[in-house]
Amino acid sequence: MMSMPRGTDPVIVQRAAREFAAAELAGHRYVMVLHDHQANPHVHLSVRAAARDGSRLNPRKADLHRWRETFAEKLRGWGVEAEASRQATRGENRRFAVLWREKARDESRLLADRPALKSGDAYLASRHGALEAWARIADALQRSERAEDRALALDVFCFVRESPFFREQMRERQRQPGIPQRMAPQPLREVVPRATPDIERGR
């Protein structure tokens, strides 16, 4: 399923999905349908795994991310601002609904549901790694001689502070001051308002 937020032109979503399929699924038979009657316009794409040359479609995690990048590229070609950023990069912490789970829940057939928010060591490690990467980017921008780079450093900091993972972790620290360090956000920078944006290491 390929979707975009509410307000995106459904016809463009469909056109981008067609271009995506032509680029990424060449040699495979597929069908697609546009749904524009729900909250967000989306296209369901069903693909025959066996290609005409006998090879089989067996996508891995890297393939799925490349597919998202291709779909975003096709959307940009139609004038829609789209980026295929990873969840960790955005500090996303919620699990996205899986279609079969949604249908089973609607029909009261779902025996066990999953928590709405992600958890676990791998989740924490990937989000902390992303926070540290953002902090390094902000540091490099802040040291630039160009005022627009220093302003962008402030934008990066604000983006991180508003990310769901960062806010979740700050709430957790307030509830449990003695939580293990691995559960706390990596050291980020605090904004000190000045004539030019400045970012300093937090305590």
Average pLDDT for runs of 10 along the chain of length 203: 89 95 95 88 92 91 91 94 85 74 80 77 88 90 92 90 87 70 42 31 34
What is the model's pLDDT at position 141?
92
75 and 112 part of one domain: no
Considering Cα of 153, then 8, then 89, then 69, what sign does the dihedral take? negative
How far apart (Å, rounded) are the C-alpha atoms in residues 149 and 129? Answer: 23
Q: Which of 22, 57, 84 is the last residue of a domain?
A: 84
105 and 192 part of one domain: yes
46 and 91 part of one domain: no
79 and 122 part of one domain: no
What is the model's pLDDT at position 191?
34
The pTM is what?
0.62
What is the model's pLDDT at position 5?
86
107 and 192 part of one domain: yes
Helices (H), the chain: 10-24, 61-77, 87-90, 99-106, 121-142, 147-161, 164-175
18 and 43 part of one domain: yes
56 and 96 part of one domain: no
Of the candidates 27, 134, 10, the residue with the CA atom closest to the CA atom of residue 80? 10
**Domain extent for 125:** 87-203
58 and 132 part of one domain: no
151 and 178 part of one domain: yes
